[in-house]
Amino acid sequence: MLKNWSPNYKVQISEKGLSSSFHKRLISISVQLYSGDQSDQLSLVFDAGASPTGKYLDLPGNHDEIAVWLGYKTKLQGVGRFRVNHWQLQGANSGNTLSVSATPKLFKNEASRTWGVNNLVAIGKKIAAKNQARCVAHASLSTISVEESQLNQVNESDISFLSRIAKRYDVFVKPTITNSGSDVLLMFLPGKAVSASGIPLVPAFVTAEDIINWNISITIRSTYKKVIAYWHDHEIGEQQKVEVISDPKSKDTLRLDYIYPNKADAKYAAQGMADRKERKDRELSLTVVGNPMLQPEMILMIQFVHPEINGKWFIKTVNHQVSHSGFISSVTAYQV
C-alpha cells in the first residue's frame, strides 16, 4: 500500500537541484505520459509572489532542461527529462503564480540523411548514441526491417523520424531517464512496455483500496474483424496479400494502402492494426494513490472492485500529480 507513505520528489533544472526557495514555492508538479507518438508534458506551478525580503523568482530561460523524479521517501522513480517551451506569469489579489510547461528533451534537432541500415532497432541504437543516450528495445523487435524507401530523413528530428517508421510496425518510441539520471530511448510493442533498464515491466495490481475514483465507457461500434495487407513478392514480381481474421463471419474489412517489402512485415502491420481497432471499445479512467511506476502500455490488473472493470487492462495515458494535497496518478486504459 502506497497511501500510508510520504510523497517525495526531485527536480533538477539544468542539472542543478531546486534551491530551497524554489522548493518552498512549488505548488504542484504534473507529468502527463502518453502512448504512441504524442509528446509527454511536464507542468510546474510556483508561488511567484515577493519573498519577505522583496525578492522574486528567477524566470526560466529558453530551453532550460528539467529532470523529474517522483515517488516516496523510500524510493524515487525517474519519469523524464524535459525542455522548457513555455512559461506564464499570472497575478491577482490572492497572489502571483508562475506556470512552466516543458516537453521531452531528447532528439529534437532536425537532420537530413539517408540511413545505411534498415533494421529498426539498429536505427534506434544509432539515434540514441548520437544523442548521448542508450536504446532499450523489447526483444521481439530485433527482426523488424524497414523498407528502403522509408530510410530517408529529410529536415526531420530524430525522434519524429524514428516514431514515423516505428509506427508502421505498431512500435512505440519513448525517451525517458533512469533513476540515476541517464537518458534512455525505449522501443516496445503495445502492452509490452520495458523499464529503462531493459526489463519487461510486470503488471501493476490495483485493488479497491488503491482507487480514489473510476469510470468506464463502452462504445458500441463496428470494428474491423478482417485486416488485409499487401506485400511485393520479388521472386515472381507480383503483389501478394496476407489476412488477419478475428471473426470469419464478419464482413467488416480494412485494407491497408501501403505495400510492404515482404510477407512478414505485411502480416506484422495487419495484426497490429487489427489489435488497435479492437482495443478501443472499452475505456477506463481511474485515479489511484500515486504510483510513479505506472506508464503507458504497461499492464494493469484490477481486482476486487467491480465485475465491469476487474481484469487485465493496458494503460494508455498517465498523469502523475504531486501537490500539497498529496500524490495521485490519473490513468486511462483500454481492454482487449
Please state which of the ranges 42-51, 106-115, 210-219 shows the lowest mean pLDDT. Answer: 106-115
274-300 pLDDT, tens per residue?
776 555 578 999 999 999 999 998 999
Mean pLDDT of 16-35: 84
26-29 long-range contacts (CB < 8 A, ≥24 apart) are 27/97, 27/323, 27/324, 28/321, 28/322, 28/323, 28/324, 29/68, 29/70, 29/320, 29/321, 29/322, 29/323
In this prediction the pTM is 0.78
CA distance 197 to 213: 32
Element (DSSP H or E) covering residue 270: helix 263-278
88-145 pLDDT, tens per residue?
999 887 678 999 998 887 677 788 999 999 999 999 999 999 989 999 999 899 999 9
